[in-house]
Amino acid sequence: MTSPTDTQGSVTTVYKVSGMSCGHCEGAVSGEISEIPGVVSVKAVAPAGEVTVVSAAPLDEAAVRAAVDEAGFELTGTA
């Protein structure tokens, strides 16, 4: 689910998100997730249906799910 990286205590998690099809979708999802406390960076890739999140500590999946839902998409799990 999560895997530590070499970046000073940060955690990188790849989430699977369904429904993204364009750059606007990527921006909407990234914008909502980036508002979660502790998030350092977000990179959404619509063709892969993946969102890579780097955070200071592991995130509550319910918070990520709520952010993705707010953007109008569905979190289907982790990669």
Task: Name the 3-class secondary structure at 78.
Answer: strand
Give the tens place of pLDDT for each residue, 12-23.
999 999 999 999
- Against a cut of 0.85, is the pTM above it? yes
pLDDT score at 25: 97
Quickly name the fold that domain 2-78 has: Alpha-Beta Plaits (3.30.70)
pLDDT score at 4: 44
- Contacts by 53-56 with C-beta closer than 8 Å and gap 24+? 53/12, 53/13, 53/14, 53/15, 54/5, 54/7, 54/10, 54/11, 54/12, 55/10, 55/11, 55/13, 56/9, 56/10, 56/11
pLDDT score at 8: 67
Q: What are phi and psi of 16, to 5 degrees?
A: -95, 125
pLDDT score at 7: 54
**Which parts of the chain have pLDDT scores under 50?**
1-6
What are the extents of the domains in the chain?
A: 2-78
